Chains A and B, each alone.
Chain A
Amino acid sequence: MRPFGAIAAALLTASAVCAAEIPQADRRSGYSFMKADTKAMQDEDTANPGMLWVLDGEALWKRKLGAANKACADCHGDARTSMKGIAARYPAFDKAAGRPIDLEQRINSCRSNHQQATPLPFESRELLALTAFVSRQSQGTPIETGADPQLAPFIARGGERYMQRQGQLNLACANCHDDNWDKKLVGSAITQGHPTGYPLYRLEWQSLGSLQRRLRACITGIRAQAYDYGAPELVELELYLMSRARGMAMEAPGVRP
Chain B
Amino acid sequence: MQQPPNSSRRQFLGLAGGAAALGAIPVITVRPAEATPAMLASAIQNVTAGAVVHTGKVKLDIPPLVENGNTVPMMVTVAHPMAPEDHVRSIHVFNEKNPQPNIANFYLGPHSGRAQVSTRIRLADSQKIVAIAKLSDGSFWSASVDVVVTLAACTEEVI
Contacts and interface: CB of A to CB of B under 8 A. Distances in A.
B68 A203 contact: yes
Interface string A184-206: 01111000000000000011111
Determine chain A's interface SS by DSSP, over half rule.
Answer: mixed
Determine chain B's interface SS by DSSP, over half rule.
Answer: loop
A38 B70 contact: no
B41 to A, nearest CB: 30
Interface stretch (A80-88, A100-108, A215-223, A229-237): A215-223
Given A203-B70, A204-B68, A217 B158 contact: no
Contact of B156 (A38, A187, A206, A217): A217
A188 to B, nearest CB: 5
A216 to B, nearest CB: 8
Interface residues of B, number: 15
A185 B153 contact: yes
Contacts of B154: 185, 188, 217-218, 221
Interface of B: 63, 65, 67-68, 70-71, 73, 150-156, 158
19 contacts: A35-B65, A35-B67, A37-B63, A38-B67, A185-B154, A186-B151, A187-B151, A187-B152, A188-B152, A203-B68, A203-B70, A204-B68, A204-B152, A206-B70, A217-B155, A217-B156, A218-B154, A220-B156, A257-B152
